[in-house]
Amino acid sequence: MSATGLQRRRRWFQAGFFALFVLAPPLDLLRLDLTRGHFILFGQDWTLGIDAFLAGEAASWQAVLNVVLRGFLPLFAVAGLLLWVGWRYGRLYCGWLCPHFSVVETINRLMRRASGKPSLWEPRPLPEQLPDGRRLQPDRRFWVPTLIAVIGFAFLWALVLLTYLLPPAEIYPNLLSGELTRNQSLFLGIGTTAFTVEFLLARHLFCRFACAVGLFQSLAWMANHKAMVVGFDTRRARACKSCNNACDNACPMRLKPRTLKRKMFTCTECGECISACTQVQGGERARSLLDWVDGECALPVVGGQPSRDGHDCFGNTAQPRQSGSPPDRHRPQQRLQAGG
């Protein structure tokens, strides 16, 4: 499938963060070394600073201060930053950086090539016509690369997580020489099996219900009615009549972007729906009926009511690409449909 500039840029972000996720332990950027009993951060030992207290060489208040400064403060800072980003922009980390979501989208694309459906639980195949006008006909031969990708990513995830816990300088040589310890082999075997099942059958369920990072971002996002959200230009809704729901079909989380915010609780702000609509409308972003909105313009997506002052939040006068005249742009904005 061809990608708009927005999606090409997002995939560069995803690729870069996925590489960082894999390389962080070998480069000693961040890992928890169980053999040492503390974190390694940028090549330096990161401890709670209580060794002197345990040895009777420091006062209790010094130990408490070290725990606060080296433990709780960094943890609260990272959590606070993540929640603020979620409150302001939604699950931006998920859609633009998360290595798990990168795998979800990759398997979605392969599975659609194999069966016409991005998930085994999709009730029916998606339309063969893509937003850019090309056709994608399912080919069962793509089940082979799909299963290889599922198992390959599962093994890679298990291996990388193991290097976050044990020294990579021990794990990788042991793996290459076939001399993994019993516990290391068990971790890789069980981890690969679990991730294979998850990537094949439950990858969307994990993102929706099991990922704490995504869940707390969504909760913070829902608390801010003026946060960035995908908005639908209802004044030109007539242009959707000749479309095959390209935005719905493009959503990796299987949501319906033209609906209320509460029905998009797990939206990852990936922008795939925006890119799909852009392609349907001829490739010009200004013609898209979907775009990110915030502030007062986000309120109609929250409550389904038109903008209070009748302001055109999309700020364009582009005519729909489809045949037929568009609705009068001075007519009051239509109510968002609860079901998309």
Longest dimension (CA), the chain: 83
Per-residue model confidence as pLDDT tens digits over 201-219? 999 999 998 999 999 999 9
DSSP assignment string, 255-322: --TTS-GGGGTT-----HHHHHHHHHTTS-GGG-SEEEE-GGGGHHHHHSPPPTT---TT---PPPSS
Per-residue model confidence as pLDDT tens digits over 58-77? 888 888 998 999 889 999 99
Per-residue model confidence as pLDDT tens digits over 163-200? 999 999 999 999 999 999 999 999 999 999 999 999 99
Residue 277 CA to residue 284 CA, distance in Å, equals 9
More confident residue, 103 or 328: 103
The per-residue pLDDT for 287 is 78
DSSP assignment string, 48-90: -S-HHHHTT-S-HHHHHHHHIIIIIHHHHHHHHHHHHHHHHHS
Tokens of 148: 């290889």
CA nearest to 97, candidates 227, 213, 246? 213
More confident residue, 317 or 324: 317
The per-residue pLDDT for 321 is 46
Per-residue model confidence as pLDDT tens digits over 269-300? 999 999 999 999 887 777 789 999 999 999 99
Residue 43 CA to residue 260 CA, distance in Å, equals 46
Tokens 């893509």 -> residue: 130
Tokens of 125: 């195949």
Per-residue model confidence as pLDDT tens digits over 303-315? 877 665 556 677 6
Residue 196 CA to residue 269 CA, distance in Å, equals 26
The per-residue pLDDT for 303 is 82
Tokens of 204: 């969307």
- DSSP class of residue 119? S
The per-residue pLDDT for 284 is 75
Per-residue pLDDT, averaged over 322-332, amounts to: 35
Evaluate if residue 43 carries a pLDDT over 50.
Answer: yes
CA nearest to 107, candidates 156, 155, 151, 161? 151
Burial 295-320 (b: 16+ CB within 10 A, else e): eebbbbbbebebeeeeeebbeeebeb
Evaluate if residue 338 carries a pLDDT over 70.
Answer: no
The per-residue pLDDT for 314 is 75
Per-residue pLDDT, averaged over 43-72, amounts to: 87
- Whether the Cβ atoms of residue 180 and residue 174 lie closer than 8 Å to each other: yes
Q: Where are the domains of the chain?
A: 5-24+90-214, 224-340
Provide the mean pLDDT of the chain.
88
What is the pTM (predicted TM-score) of this model?
0.86
Residue 249 CA to residue 131 CA, distance in Å, equals 9
The per-residue pLDDT for 193 is 98
Percentage of the residues of the chain whose pLDDT score is greater than 90: 73
Evaluate if residue 132 carries a pLDDT over 50.
Answer: yes
The per-residue pLDDT for 317 is 46
The per-residue pLDDT for 327 is 33
Percentage of the residues of the chain whose pLDDT score is greater than 70: 89
The per-residue pLDDT for 334 is 40
The per-residue pLDDT for 2 is 52
The per-residue pLDDT for 1 is 43
CA nearest to 264, candidates 223, 218, 204, 203? 218
Per-residue pLDDT, averaged over 5-21, amounts to: 95
